[in-house]
């Protein structure tokens, strides 16, 4: 490895999620997922969740960019960029349309067989998330999502079905996407899109219930890891968290303590999944608040037995917190603590851009966990303009990715971080999870589709496509 090169075998690729690109929401026997009952957002208006599918209202993820029928063309484009891996998810509802079905849906299983074969045709290694915000909607309606212990079994059955079917086609797995991202959508029908937990409006016990659902989710994840390793001991099964480092606004001790508190409140999922036990501060918080979740001795054994092989994480931004907003001991809502970081520029969606924060995170996670890391999402959501001749110039995207990769390279080459790979988010334009819109684009490949769901679906290469192709070709030595 020369000074500027990434390790041999480094997994360069791109990341997507089934519900944000596949479309075909009711094709091939697929059932309704939580993503299929979401509305589009508009500028400044957040997405909502409807009670069941409402024709005309839930269109964004229904067709998405129709990867379901375009996957061969799209994988060929990824291969042209030189991808070594491709991260996507298996839509749970293609395999178990209702979540509690007795038998899996063969047509859904076959779709992923074909997709993985297509990847291998080009030497592209699939990297698979089992659940990426796409739980069967029936499990929400009928069981209340992960607030119900029964849902653990449904998830494990889904995981085991996939592990067995694809045991010779997929080596790299993640159980839940951003398992720490347990936020609720703020409207009349409140649901956590990660756990499927139904919350009450302004209800005081929301947080207690969130901890319960989260506990069942980490148990489900651990059981899946344990079963997966039995099915194929060579599997590498990781957690996947959103890592957003927390900075104190100043060196004032209260700010520093608050930053630690905010980090503890959010970033404990991977502690449980790597260490196999809850960190002391979470046990203390649950106790102090009187949440009393159902955590059995058997659960604790399962958590120990199902620890992960690596930590996959998304990185988009850092956050800064100030004790002027809330004292460390009064922290009830993490968002209240936030303050502006005057040292950072922001994206069009107001996400602070912080490449150095990525090097900091890589070091911090390495020190904390002593397992390999995998950057499975990173990128810039931006509005792109198609020129008259069809070209798309996106220097802002190249700048963002280059500056982040420079820091990643330092972490790997200078700091000794063990990093498996890098899969920037939305390598092909897709439906934004946050806004439900197409206009927040991340891709190297442009897709002709607008926020109202209109367009030819034609794919074209942006300038960043050629830039990333060169990065992969030189194994990161020419950024």
Q: Which of residues 30-69 bind ligand BGP (CB under 6 A)?
A: none
Q: Does 433 bind ligand BGP (CB under 6 A)?
A: yes
Stretch binding ligand BGP (CB under 6 A), from 211-219, 283-291, 390-398, 429-437 = 429-437
Give the Cα separation of 65 and 230 in Å (integer). Answer: 36
Beta bridge partners of 313: 241, 375
What six digits make up the tokens of 145? 């999502």
Nearer to ligand BGP, 68 or 425 (CB): 425
Residues 367-406 as x/- pattern, contact with ligand BGP by CB under 6 A = ----------x---x-------------------------
Instruction: Find the shortest distance in angstroms from Cβ 167 to ligand BGP.
Output: 26
Nearer to ligand BGP, 17 or 246 (CB): 17
Backbone phi, psi, residue 33, to 5°? -105, 170
The binder of ligand BGP chosen from 314, 317, 361, 366 (CB under 6 A): 314
Closest by CA to 209, choosing from 191, 233, 187, 227, is: 191
404 close to 377: Cβ distance less than 8 angstroms: no
Give the Cα separation of 274 and 311 in Å (integer). Answer: 8
Stretch binding ligand BGP (CB under 6 A), from 51-59, 205-213, 407-415, 425-433 = 425-433
CA angle 32, 38, 40 (to 5 degrees): 140
- Cα–Cα separations (whole angstroms), residue 213 to 24, 149, 182: 29, 8, 9
Q: Does 127 bind ligand BGP (CB under 6 A)?
A: no
Asked about 377 being catalytic, the answer comes back as yes
Beta strands per DSSP E along 335-467 = 338-339, 373-377, 419-422, 445-447, 459-461
Stretch binding ligand BGP (CB under 6 A), from 54-62, 264-272, 285-293, 430-438 = 430-438
What secondary structure letter does DSSP report for 281? Answer: H
Stretch binding ligand BGP (CB under 6 A), from 37-45, 55-63, 385-393, 433-441 = 433-441
Residues touching ligand BGP, count (CB under 6 A): 14
Q: Which of 134, 147, 377, 407 is catalytic?
A: 377
Contacts of 35 (CB under 8 A, 6+ apart): 19, 20, 61, 133, 134, 193
Residues 185-224 as x/- pattern, contact with ligand BGP by CB under 6 A = ----------------------------------------
**Catalytic positions, written as ranges:** 377
Which residues contact ligand BGP by CB under 6 A? 17, 20, 177-178, 242, 314, 377, 381, 425, 432-435, 440
């Amino acid at each position: 490895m020369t000074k500027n090169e990434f390790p041999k075998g480094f997994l360069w690729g791109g990341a997507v999620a089934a519900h944000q690109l596949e479309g075909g929401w009711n094709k091939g026997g697929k059932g309704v997922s939580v993503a299929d009952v979401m509305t589009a957002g508009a500028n400044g208006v957040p997405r909502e969740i409807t009670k069941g599918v409402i024709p005309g209202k839930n269109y964004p993820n229904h067709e998405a960019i129709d990867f379901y029928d375009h996957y061969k063309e799209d994988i060929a484009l990824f291969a042209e960029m030189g991808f070594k891996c491709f991260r996507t998810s298996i839509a749970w509802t293609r395999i178990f349309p209702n979540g509690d079905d007795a038998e899996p849906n063969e047509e859904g299983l076959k779709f992923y067989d074909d997709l993985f074969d297509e990847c291998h045709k080009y030497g592209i290694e699939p990297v698979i998330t089992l659940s990426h915000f796409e739980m069967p909607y029936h499990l929400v309606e009928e069981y209340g999502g992960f607030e119900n212990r029964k849902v653990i079994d449904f998830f494990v059955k889904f995981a085991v079905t996939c592990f067995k079917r694809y045991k010779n086609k997929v080596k790299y797995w993640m159980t839940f996407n951003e398992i720490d991202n347990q936020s609720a959508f703020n409207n009349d029908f409140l649901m956590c899109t990660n756990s499927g937990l139904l919350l009450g409006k302004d209800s005081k016990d929301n947080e207690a219930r969130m901890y319960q659902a989260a506990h069942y989710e980490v148990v489900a994840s651990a059981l899946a890891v344990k079963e997966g390793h039995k099915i194929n001991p060579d599997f590498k099964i990781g957690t996947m968290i959103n890592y957003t480092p927390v900075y104190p606004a100043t060196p004032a001790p209260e700010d520093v303590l608050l930053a630690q508190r905010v980090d503890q409140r959010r970033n404990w999922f991977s502690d449980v999944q790597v260490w196999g036990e809850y960190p002391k501060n979470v046990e203390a918080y649950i106790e102090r608040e009187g949440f009393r979740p159902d955590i059995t001795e058997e659960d604790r054994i399962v958590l120990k037995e199902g620890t992960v092989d690596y930590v996959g994480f998304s990185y988009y931004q850092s956050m800064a917190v100030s004790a002027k907003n809330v004292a460390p001991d009064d922290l009830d809502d993490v968002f209240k603590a936030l303050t502006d970081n005057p040292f950072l520029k922001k994206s069009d969606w107001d996400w602070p851009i912080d490449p150095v924060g990525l090097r900091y995170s890589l070091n911090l996670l390495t020190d904390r966990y002593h397992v390999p890391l995998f950057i499975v999402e990173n990128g810039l959501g931006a509005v792109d303009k198609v020129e008259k001749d069809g070209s798309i110039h996106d220097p802002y995207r190249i700048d963002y990715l280059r500056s982040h990769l420079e820091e990643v390279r330092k972490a790997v080459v200078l700091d000794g971080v063990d990093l498996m790979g890098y899969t920037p988010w939305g390598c092909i334009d897709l439906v934004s999870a946050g806004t439900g819109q197409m206009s927040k684009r991340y891709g190297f490949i442009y897709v002709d589709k607008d926020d109202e769901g209109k367009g030819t679906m034609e794919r074209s290469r942006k300038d960043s496509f050629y830039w990333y192709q060169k990065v992969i070709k030189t194994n990161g030595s020419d950024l």
